[in-house]
């Protein structure tokens, strides 16, 4: 592990973004960057700082009646010849792995820490900063999940803002996601004497027809429109070109609005496939992560929406906001990056999105627009 040069948090948000991008931190190798972030936060002098693995936690303790939690992951997907960062002046784009997802968001957080985490600063809310590791890999390794298990108190607040890329829009809550496998069985036979067999693939017909005819729900919650979807995402079966198959499996993914919890989502999927299971198919839920309500009617969230000055929209993908929602904390996604560029070789962030994100949060956290 190498030591990185110190982070200069007095530099502008573009320079801080570049410094973060130029410090590679693929999931599992966040150590040196976490060291640099921890040292920079400790040097500010107005924050309680704690390190848990490669997660860095920092907070003010000013006795304010409300607390806002800002969270961002430090890791990136594997580098694709796109580190160090490259600034294209003509198009106003900063290219590099993590520029959108989500080191530009981390840079905004660090700039806010530099403003509000110094002795004598007077933010309108107490602030908690959570920089965490291993977001881009399997959920069991997720650093925010580890903090939730080991230091839950660090995540409590009146509002959590996750600085994942949203193109500078506020995206409320997130949808849940459930994956299930429907398996049918039959009886193997030579296809020349197919009447002696029972075809497991044909037994999926009703389920596939039900999916094709399925009318997904649209639900408006707190002014955000969530759009559900129940789709086949995989199908398998077949033994050989001359055999009636005795096994088949259909994998489905249900993306569900946050007014359903995990149990309600599973019950709904079981209802859709009730005919198939009544006919002998088995339905197994292999993965189910509940969503998060937008919570925009909560005063702390409403004040933030007012500060950004744009209507909030629904977050359709699953994000770590659900980990806050599990504690009953309203949580929003808001970040300067472009979500459609995340994980791409051409990943970049528009430079002119950076300062407005910092300014909107600064206004909100100073209480100047509340």
Q: Residues with catalytic annotation?
A: 75, 135
Rounded Cα distance, 319 and 333, in Å: 8
How many C-beta neighbours within 10 Å does residue 126 have? 19
Q: Are 243 and 191 in contact (CB under 8 A)?
A: yes
Q: Decide whether 28 or 311 has the Cβ nearer to Zn ion.
A: 28
Q: Are 265 and 177 in contact (CB under 8 A)?
A: no
> One symbol per residue from 160 to 179: x for binding Zn ion (CB under 5 A), - otherwise; what is it?
----x---------------
* Closer to Zn ion by Cβ: residue 13 or 248: 13
* Cβ 333 to Zn ion shortest distance, Å: 10
By CB under 5 A, the count of residues binding Zn ion is: 3
Tokens matching residue 71? 């969270």
Residue with Cβ nearer Zn ion (281 or 342): 342
How many Å apart are CA 289 and CA 287, to the nearest integer? Answer: 7
> Is 124 or 170 the residue whose CB approaches Zn ion more closely?
170
What's the residue count for the chain? 370
Q: How far is the CB of 329 from Zn ion (least distance, A)?
A: 19
Distance CA 72, CA 362 (A): 17
Residue whose token pair is 């209802």: 271
Q: Of 38 and 164, which has the nearer Cβ to Zn ion?
A: 164
Applying the rule CB under 5 A, the residues between 71 and 130 that interact with Zn ion are: 101-102
CB of 335 to Zn ion, least distance (A): 8
Q: What's the DSSP call for residue 50?
A: E
Q: Quick one: CA torsion of 233, 239, 244, 247, rounded to 10 degrees?
A: -50
Q: How far apart are CA 51 and CA 239, in angstroms?
A: 53
CB of residue 210 vs Zn ion: minimum separation in angstroms? 34
User: Could you tell me the two tokens for 179?
Assistant: 């994956």
Report the nearest approach of Zn ion to the CB of residue 112 (Å): 18
Q: Which residues bind Zn ion (CB under 5 A)?
A: 101-102, 164
């Amino acid at each position: 592990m190498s030591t990185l040069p110190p982070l200069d948090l007095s530099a502008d948000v573009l320079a801080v973004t570049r410094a973060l991008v130029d410090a590679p931190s693929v999931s599992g190798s966040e150590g040196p960057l976490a060291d640099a972030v921890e040292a920079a936060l400790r040097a500010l002098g107005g924050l309680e700082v704690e390190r848990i693995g490669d997660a860095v936690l920092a907070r003010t303790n000013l006795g304010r009646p409300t607390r806002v939690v800002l969270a961002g992951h430090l890791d990136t997907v594997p580098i694709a010849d796109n580190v160090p960062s490259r600034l294209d002046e003509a198009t106003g784009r900063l290219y590099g792995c993590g520029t959108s997802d989500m080191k530009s968001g981390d840079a905004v957080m660090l700039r806010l820490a530099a403003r509000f985490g110094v002795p004598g600063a007077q933010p309108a809310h107490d602030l908690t900063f959570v920089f965490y590791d291993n977001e881009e890999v399997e959920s069991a390794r997720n650093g925010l999940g580890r903090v939730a298990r080991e230091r839950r108190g660090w995540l409590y607040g009146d509002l959590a803002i996750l600085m994942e890329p949203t193109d500078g829009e506020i995206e409320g809550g997130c949808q849940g996601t459930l994956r299930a496998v429907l398996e049918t069985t039959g009886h193997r036979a030579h296809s020349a004497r197919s009447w002696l067999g029972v075809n497991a693939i044909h037994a999926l017909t009703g389920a596939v027809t039900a999916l094709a005819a399925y009318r997904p729900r649209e639900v408006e919650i707190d002014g955000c429109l969530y759009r559900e979807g129940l789709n086949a995402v995989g199908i398998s079966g077949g033994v050989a070109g001359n055999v009636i198959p005795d096994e088949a499996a259909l994998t489905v993914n249900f993306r569900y609005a946050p007014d359903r919890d995990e149990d309600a989502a599973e019950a709904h999927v079981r209802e859709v496939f009730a005919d198939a299971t009544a006919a002998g198919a088995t339905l197994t839920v292999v993965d189910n992560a509940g969503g998060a309500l937008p919570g925009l009617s909560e005063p702390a969230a409403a004040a933030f929406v007012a500060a950004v000055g744009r209507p909030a929209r629904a977050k359709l993908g699953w994000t770590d906001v659900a980990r806050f929602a599990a504690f009953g904390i309203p949580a929003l996604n808001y970040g300067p990056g472009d979500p459609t560029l995340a994980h791409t070789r051409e990943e970049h962030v528009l430079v002119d999105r950076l300062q407005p994100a910092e300014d909107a949060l600064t206004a909100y956290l100073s209480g100047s627009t509340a």
